[in-house]
Amino acid sequence: MCVSSAAHRVVIVGGGFGGLQAALALQRKQVEVTLVDRRNFHLFQPLTYQVATGALSPGEIAYPLRAIFKRRPNVRVVLAEVDDFDLEKREVRLGAVGDVPAPASLPYDTLIVAGGSQYSYFGHDEWREHAAEVKSLESALIVRSRLLSAFEAAEAETDADRRAAWLTFVVVGAGPTGVEIAGQIAELARDTLRGDFRSVDTRATRILLVEAADRVLTAFPPSLSSKATRSLEKLGVTVLTGRAVTGIDRESVVVDDERIPARTVVWAAGVTASSLAGRLGELSGADRDRAGRITVEPDLTLPGHPEVFAIGDMVRLHDGLLPGVAPVAMQQGRYAARVVADRQKSRPTPPFRYHDKGNLATIGRAAAVADVHGLRLGGLVAWLAWVTVHLWYLVGFQNRLLVIIRWSVSFATHGRGARLITTQPGGNEPGRP
């Protein structure tokens, strides 16, 4: 497909779910698309926790952006950091990623910003050092190293109290990610690693799931929250609802007023919008909520700037907040592309409407909960639905094939093939003993 030099220029910031769907929807249109991301791959974020627990390898949930668009000449991929926006000149200011040079700026006719979100530590950024999260591939690998190193440290520890601290794992936040990773840690300790060590019984591992709300999975109906809690407890997870974390340090977690010796903490509570949202809000005057999300128009554009779309976790609509899940970002990405195409043909586009396809969360082996159009499922049927949906949306045939093989082998053998403690920049990160 040949696109003329005078083609409409669309710059998309972010190669996550929203940005990727926008680019895919525009790849056959008479537009010139530039996709900018500081990573050279699209990450299937719903499965990063499986990398963190050794169930999958990094390459199985990530796919190179250039490979996705290699046969689409109207889509160009740029590896760069987005430093700023000039809405008056219609330019995106870029910075280099490491030693890779980047253009100083990119001009656009339409801008689509899908900057995503990051975990919020509720004003306690000092906790970040001790409580890693699994939102990025890099942080998932840090969590994997910390989890596996904790078992190694417990094996070498002779003091009973210090060994117990190494074998205590605290997950903060009981949304889908928190529930899923707590269940995976329990299976890792009580099933996969059983018998691997000589001095320590990994079945003595203590997993605490802490949630400030009165139940887990608050986006699900209460009946499914109860099912999830029972499944977690069956795996050996202690669920602490209505409890708040008030302190985290290198050796312990404070839950309300109780200090719990624990050397490994995983953070899965609360999100805040990308800093790009804040910058767009400053430039456009768009309202922002407490989580930093900017309020966009019904067609997902910035107030006063119909040429700029903001989508995904970093935005909210005037009539309410949508859930921060992949389907929302994907539908918004496709909608923004549709508006671009309609404008070229001078066609009106109705306001964005999210079509909720339901919620899914897995707890462990053949255990999950599903809320799909009022149909509430639990157990094996929900787990098979979860497997099917995640394989369907995973990018790349090779990745789908590898993941289904990996899951099938793991299901049959109770094993995990990616239990590697990788060296992180900074020396002693993996063990931190």
Angle at Cα 324 formed by Cα 123 and Cα 217, nearest 5°?
Answer: 85
Alpha carbon of residue 389 to chain centroid: 16
Q: Which residue has the tokens 């082998």?
A: 409
Residue 308's DSSP bridge partners are 111
Q: What is the DSSP string of 13-42?
A: E--SHHHHHHHHHHTTSSEEEEEEESSSEE
Within 311-393, strands assigned E span: 315-317, 359-364, 367-372, 375-378
Q: Are 368 and 390 in contact (CB under 8 A)?
A: no
Helix (H) or strand (E) holding 327: helix 326-344
Q: Which residue has the tokens 């990018």?
A: 395
Given 32, 133, 180, 297, the catalytic residue: 180
What distance in Å separates the CA atoms of residue 238 and residue 241, rounded to the nearest whole number?
A: 10
Q: Is 429 known to be catalytic? A: no
Q: Reduced to 3 states, what is the DSSP secondary structure of residue 141?
A: helix
Q: What is the DSSP string of 54-107?
A: TSS-GGGSEEEHHHHTTT-TTEEEEE-EEEEEETTTTEEEEE-BTTB---SEEE
Active site residues per annotation: 180
